[in-house]
Amino acid sequence: MFGLTFEKILIIGIIAVFLLGPDKLPLYAAQLGRLVRQLRDMANGAKDRIRDEMGPEFDELDWKKLDPRQYDPRRIIREALTEETPLKEQSATLSRASPAAASLLGTAALSSLGPRTPSSVTRAPFDTEAT
């Protein structure tokens, strides 16, 4: 939790004993215990409220799937780029692509589509007043 190991917690405790002294240490330890208990109760209350508002769907939710730590942008992009699409769908997409996008996709894919006529080329909108 927060990168704290037992040794670090022990050092923090020893420093606290020296700084606070034996008189105030039990008072501050009790306050810390109450704070942790209140935070835990608040978290449980929020969880119960969400469970009440969402109903039975809350228990059916796969929380591991929604964990933001599992998202690796490199993996997502790699999977999206290596995703195999059917040839017909790919050729339809390439025939509607702009020349810039077509050059990004590669000339090998375009050569299989045949020659392009000027009427089939659509240009991206251009705003002359844009800064």
Please say if the pLDDT value at position 67 is more than 50.
yes
pLDDT tens digit string along 6-26? 899 889 888 888 888 888 888
Taking the CA of residue 131 as centre, how many other CA atoms within 13 Å lie in the half-sphere pointing to its CB? Answer: 0
| Residue 106, phi-psi category: left (phi > 0), alpha (psi -120 to 50), beta (remainder) | left
The model's confidence at residue 126, banded by pLDDT at 50, 70 and 90, is: confident
Q: Assign 33 a pLDDT band (cuts: 50, 70, 90).
A: very high
Q: Domains of the chain: which residue ranges?
A: 6-56
Residue 125 sits at φ, ψ, to 5 deg, of -65, 145
Reported as a pLDDT band with limits 50, 70 and 90, residue 110 is very low
